[in-house]
């Protein structure tokens, strides 16, 4: 069986930046172990498998503006092209502020050390713990953090935390005017730090929208690759996340 496969760098228009993901075009569903084997072979944090829902669906250029639906950890994801950007329609996941740090003090300490913390929130739906650094911290403080994945994994969270988000307020007065910055750590999924994370911004957008009083925001994820995300909260309670993407590899996977 031959499967068309692409490697796409998302949330960037520069090769080898943003979030690298494998995209496989399938004519029919595969056995579960085959999905896992292909994902392991691609060796990227994300591998997407696109399957036509009926015989009228295809992957031709004539359907480039159609909407594609994905099942994700954050719920159903609707994807469409708009100009030079890819727009993803996510559910919005607002986190809940925690009254004290005692419950997760060890994981917060492992993540940010002695840096001042302004607020800690938890999103029960996605099991994402969000740590907001104090506004006295800037982007350089965020990028200097070096949390040890092994230490994070040793902290007993009772299964309530599967992802760790660390964020700080941005500086909209400086071009290009980022509203907030973040770094996202997923050692519980075998990913010490994710390059750019769309699903994490369903939580971050819900939080920062209320704090900043804005429905449209520009965010930057400060991994070593880096990525820019345009965020827009919709009236129906969902979230649009837009970003550019560049294809860096195209080939055939033979299995």
Catalytic residue among 2, 29, 41, 46: 46
For the domain bounded by 96-235, which CATH number is listed? 3.10.310.10
* 92-149 pLDDT tens trace: 999 999 986 677 999 999 999 999 999 999 999 999 999 999 999 999 999 999 999 9
46 is catalytic: yes
Q: What is the pLDDT of residue 60?
A: 52
Domain locations in the chain as residue ranges: 2-90+243-254, 96-235
In this structure, which long-range contacts are made by residues 110-113, counting pairs with CB atoms below 8 Å and at least 24 apart in sequence? 110/147, 110/148, 110/151, 110/152, 110/155, 111/145, 111/147, 111/152, 111/164, 111/166, 111/185, 112/145, 112/147, 112/166, 113/145
Q: Average pLDDT, whole number, for the chain? A: 90
- CATH class (in words) of the domain with range 2-90+243-254: alpha beta
Q: What is the pLDDT of residue 182?
A: 98
Q: What is the pLDDT of residue 56?
A: 57
Fold matches, 2-90+243-254 and 96-235: yes
Q: What is the pLDDT of residue 101?
A: 64
């Amino acid at each position: 069986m031959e499967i068309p496969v692409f490697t796409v760098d998302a949330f960037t228009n520069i090769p080898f930046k943003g979030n690298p993901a494998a995209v496989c075009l399938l004519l029919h569903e595969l056995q579960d172990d085959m999905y896992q084997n292909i994902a392991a072979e691609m060796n990227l944090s994300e591998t997407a498998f696109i399957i036509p829902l009926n015989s009228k669906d295809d992957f031709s250029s004539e359907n480039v503006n159609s909407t594609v639906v994905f099942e994700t950890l954050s719920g159903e994801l609707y994807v469409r092209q708009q100009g030079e950007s890819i727009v993803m329609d996510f559910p919005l996941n607002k986190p809940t502020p925690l009254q004290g740090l005692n419950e997760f003090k060890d994981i917060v300490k492992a993540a940010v050390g002695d840096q001042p913390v302004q607020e800690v929130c938890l999103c029960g739906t996605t099991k994402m713990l969000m740590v907001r650094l104090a506004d006295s911290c800037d982007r350089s403080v965020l990028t200097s953090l070096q949390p040890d994945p092994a230490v994070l994994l040793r902290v007993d969270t009772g299964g309530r935390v599967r992802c760790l988000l660390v964020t700080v307020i941005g500086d909209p007065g400086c071009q290009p005017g980022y509203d907030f910055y973040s770094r996202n750590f997923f050692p519980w999924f075998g990913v010490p730090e994710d390059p750019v994370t769309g699903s994490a911004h369903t939580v971050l957008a819900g939080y920062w929208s209320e704090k900043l009083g804005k429905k449209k925001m520009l965010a930057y994820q400060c991994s070593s690759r880096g990525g820019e995300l345009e965020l827009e909260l919709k009236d129906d309670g969902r979230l649009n996340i837009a970003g550019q993407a560049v294809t860096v590899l195209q080939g055939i996977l033979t299995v």
